[in-house]
Amino acid sequence: MKLIAAIGLFVLSLAFAVIGVAERTVLAPPPSKVLALDFEAGNPYLVIPNATLASYSGVPSVQVSGSKKAFIAVGREADIRAWIGEASSSEIDVSKGSKKSQLELKSNFGNESYANPRRSDLWRSEITSVKSAAIDVNPADGGAALIASDGFGLSPNHVEITWPIVHDLTQSNVLLIASVVLLIAAFLMNLWYLRGNTRRKGPRRKLPKAPQGPRVRRHRSQLVLPTKGRRVAKKVSTAISGLIVVSVLAGCSPATPQATPTPTATGDVIVADPPVVIESQLARILKNVAQAAAAADSAKDKSLLESRFAGPAFDMRAVHYYLMSKSSKIEQLPAISSKPITWSLPAATAAWPRTIMAVTDTPGTDLPQMLVLQQQSPRSDYKAYFFMNLVPGAKIPSVPVTEVGAIPVASDSVYLKVSPKDIPVTYGDVIDKGSSSLSAGSYDVTGDRYYQDVSALQKTQVQKLTNATIKFKHTLGSSSIFALATTDGGALVAVYMKDTYTIKPKKAGSGVTVSGNEKLMLGANGSVRGVSSTYGNMMLFYVPSIADTKRSILLGVTQGLLRVRGL
């Protein structure tokens, strides 16, 4: 019985080994699924939609050739189509016929509003090469590919898409391990049998043969198999072992791969807009902004800012370059930091303009820096509209994670404690009047150092100017207001406030003198009629919802001189 069991285990081990090796060789699927298409190019842009890339599982590789230059960009399909706009383009679809799948080309006719797609802020990644190019395109989050040469010439006319086929070797590994275990068990069983057999026989002496009687010849009879007993048990055991082998062989046959169904949205599902950038895009954008600022700061040339700066950020830096040209004592503005990115909040929207807020905290700097960027249209770059230092002890409220993004809030929203466009006037009124202001209950100025310093400075100026009058005016300095929702229903609001100080002499014949940067800007010591000085304040506020008991609070601010003129 032990011998039969050992033989059965050996046979089963051999069967497992054969199947395990077969699954790695003859039964293994091909390493990849490849679809290729050669066509006559008719448009500068070729789009491989998300549905095409997601036709098979895995992250496909796209390879193109057929033109002097080859360019492939990876981005969200909606962004790619928005960048192309009304321009003529082509796209590739997968046609799954009864016999085999193949690529098909479709043309979309439009106008000739062509441009070079290289280095657009919309792309997650891109590659430019000579004659041919290849790149992996992850179809997750609506990923698609844009193929071109230089944006004006015809696109490459050979496309090859390769999907890697991941072969799961778990079953093969289990079978091979089981084969080794069974082989060891068969060896041990056989060893057990041999030792038992040796013990039963034992050492024997040679004994003399006893006398034997005459042999009786018996007639042969037909062999009748017993219906019970050990012989029957041995045959049944052997048959059962054979059945086990057959059943295991049948159960271990390789599973036929099945297509994974693609989930489709039902009418009850609301698909939220995705964030406008992913982390790699944001890092690249901030790097480009920082490089533009470094070049402009070094040359003191505002024209070098135009590619990556706009609005208040451009104005304030341009004025500072002018002051530096008038005096060598003027220090440079703090550099724009691109890393490390310690906090980021992109808008979750599919429309333009698009907004991003990000905080960088470079080691060695006094305070973290907040950058507020905006992209006006699909083909334009993100530009810095605000750069400001966070105030000491600033605590940014809870916001959605970067992978989700925040909903943009309208500048005239009535669901916030203070409408974003009204912040400069109401906050300025609190600076001027303190607790007697009608807006005092809307702002928490308990630990607001900026409020305390500016308010104290204004009171000091009023007391010192005995021979002149001074008026303070706080206004909205730019229509560009950026507001992104927080998780508690409030909003982070970046707004530009202009402070205008107008000083007039009380008596005829007397004048108003200025000094420092105001003197450099005015180009004179003063004016007999008076002087008007304008300062710009790039500010970041947290504004709670109208139903919240909390108050609005200042989180970041950077101030700079904009203009000085005589009256």
- pLDDT, residue 226, reads 53
Q: State residue 247's pLDDT score.
A: 42
> 198 vs 557, which has greater pLDDT?
557
**Choice among 106-120, 196-210, 312-326 with the minimum mean pLDDT:** 196-210
What's residue 225's pLDDT?
46
The whole-number pLDDT of residue 217 equals 56
CA 170 to chain centroid? 32
Res 260 pLDDT > 90: no
Domain ranges for the chain: 1-28+167-196, 32-164, 279-566
Quick one: pLDDT at residue 205? 53
pTM: 0.79
Question: What does the angle CA 247 – CA 253 – CA 254 come to, to the nearest 5 degrees?
Answer: 160
The tokens 């024997």 sit on which residue?
204
For 115, 292, 407, the CA distances from 380, given in Å and listed in that order, are: 11, 15, 21
Q: Do residues 563 and 412 make contact, with C-beta atoms less than 8 angstroms apart? A: no
Burial of 75 (0-12, 13-18, 19+ CB in 10 A): buried
User: pLDDT tens, 363-389?
Assistant: 777 889 999 999 999 999 999 999 999
pLDDT at 261 over 60: no
Region for 135 from its dihedrals, namely left if φ exceeds 0, alpha if ψ lies in -120 to 50, beta otherwise: beta
* Residue pair 56/169 in contact by the 8 Å Cβ criterion: no
* Rounded Cα gap, residues 143 and 80, in angstroms: 9
Residues 15-63 have pLDDT tens digits of 888 888 887 887 777 778 899 999 998 899 999 999 999 999 889 999 9
pLDDT of residue 87: 95
Q: What is d(CA 411, CA 419) in angstroms, rounded to the nearest whole number?
A: 7
Give φ, ψ of 385 to 5 degrees: -100, -25
Cβ neighbourhood burial of 236 (10 Å; 0-12, 13-18, 19+): exposed
3-state secondary structure 265-286: CCCCCCCCCCECCCHHHHHHHH
> Which pair of structure tokens corresponds to residue 529?
């009629």
Residue pLDDT, tens place only, 157-190: 999 999 998 777 788 888 889 888 888 888 887 7
Contact 126, 134 (CB under 8 A): no
**pLDDT tens-digit series, residues 307-365:** 999 999 999 999 999 999 999 899 988 899 998 999 999 999 999 999 999 999 887 77
d(CA 69, CA 45): 13
- φ/ψ region of 464 (left if φ > 0, alpha if ψ in -120 to 50, else beta) reads alpha
Residue with tokens 């004048």: 511
Mean pLDDT score, 188-212: 66
Residue of 62, 267, 50 whose CA lies nearest to 141: 50
Closest C-alpha to 361, from 345, 346, 382, 344: 344
CB environment 389-412: b (16+ within 10 A), e (fewer): bbbeebebeebbebeebbbbbebe
Neighbours of 30 (CB within 10 A): 8
Cα 206 to chain centroid distance, Å, stands at 90
DSSP state of 27: T
